[in-house]
Amino acid sequence: MRSDEPLADAGVACRIAALYVHPIKSCAGIAVDERTLTPTGLDLDRDWMVVDAHGDMLTQRELPRMALVQPSFKQGDVVLRAPGMLALHLRVDTVESATHAQVWEDHVRAFEMGALAGQWFSDFLGRPGLRLVRFDPDQQRLADLAWTAGLQAEAAFADGFPLLVAGSASLADLNTRLAARGAEAVTMQRFRPNIVLDGLEAFDEDHIEALDIDTPEGPVRLRLTKPCVRCTIPDVDPATAATGHTVGDTLATFRVDARMKGGITFGMNAVIESGFDVTLRTGMAVRASYAF
């Protein structure tokens, strides 16, 4: 937010520039024109997760090639493609036996997606014994209440919150800084948001308290809660899975966040205050209210 922003200003008009769904945690995302809000975020976002033989989550932090697994939606399937692999079709309405999985510190109920899916990931990622599991929708995994002001916000296999919001101007600012260092521009896919907003100044999302969206199905209110601390994943090239450190090093020069004990942040986690079962669409107008 600009230093000369009047305190009486209730916010700013912006719009939804892009929506992304990441069906399988840490695999590639899908840009969609519209998506329904569910209690755990955008429909089918982070509903599946790759785990090891013990049920522990695996991500691009350990296996950067996960970035090359590209899902797509086709009728009632999520179709997975990866270099050198035959396409794997997952039925959205089908699971196998009940199991458990570990996502960060949370031990949650899940469902196996079958031996074929597990072998597909083992073959592509070069690690035996992998499995693909789906989040049990009867499981309630809550976001950190210390950041949600007591609101019981649910997440599936997302790191901790149902939604992640970023501003397109923030990415443009980062790319300007990367260019000054002689580095190539990066895309928003490296930061894996669900909602990208146009119309904000760079990193204004840091200071926004709520987003209000009027839709034909009713109002939506999203509350921005916790800055998203970044790990090594933004330095994984989503097109090649090549790793580096330029993005993280550049962010470290100006994005150290005291609220997160010196963590390097980009984007804001968000919870849904109202608007479940409402469809968000790209181009929708948004009112962003600042936290003063």
Q: What is the CATH number of the domain that holds 155?
A: 2.40.33.20
pLDDT for res 4: 39
What's the chain's average pLDDT?
A: 95
With beta carbons less than 8 A apart as the criterion, state whether 110 and 97 touch: no
Answer yes or no: is 182 within a domain.
Answer: yes
Q: Please choose, from the candidates 166, 118, 160, the residue with its C-alpha nearest in 3D space to the C-alpha of residue 141.
A: 160
d(CA 239, CA 241): 6
101-140, pLDDT tens digit by residue? 999 999 999 999 999 999 999 999 999 999 999 999 999 9
- Other beta carbons less than 10 A from residue 58's beta carbon: 19
Confidence band, pLDDT 50/70/90 cuts, at residue 10: low
Answer yes or no: is 251 within a domain.
Answer: yes
Answer yes or no: is 78 within a domain.
Answer: yes
Q: Which are the contacts of 182, defined by CB distance < 8 A and separation ≥ 6?
A: none
Answer yes or no: is 5 within a domain.
Answer: no
Name the residue range of residue 30's domain.
12-290
219-251, pLDDT tens digit by residue? 999 999 999 999 999 999 999 999 999 999 999
pLDDT for res 3: 37
Answer yes or no: is 274 within a domain.
Answer: yes
3-state secondary structure of 16: strand
Q: What is the DSSP letter of 3?
A: T
Torsion 96-97-103-108 (CA) sign? positive
**pTM of the prediction?**
0.95
- Is pLDDT above 60 for 6? no
Torsion 286-288-289-291 (CA) sign? positive
Answer yes or no: is 1 within a domain.
Answer: no
Q: What is the 3-state secondary structure (H, E, C) of 190-258?
A: HHCCCEEEECCCCCHHHHEEEEEEEECCEEEEEEEEEEEECCCHHHECCCCCCECCHHHHHHHCCCEEH
Answer yes or no: is 267 within a domain.
Answer: yes
Number of compact structural domains in the chain: 1
- Is pLDDT above 60 for 2? no
pLDDT for res 291: 83
Answer yes or no: is 2 within a domain.
Answer: no
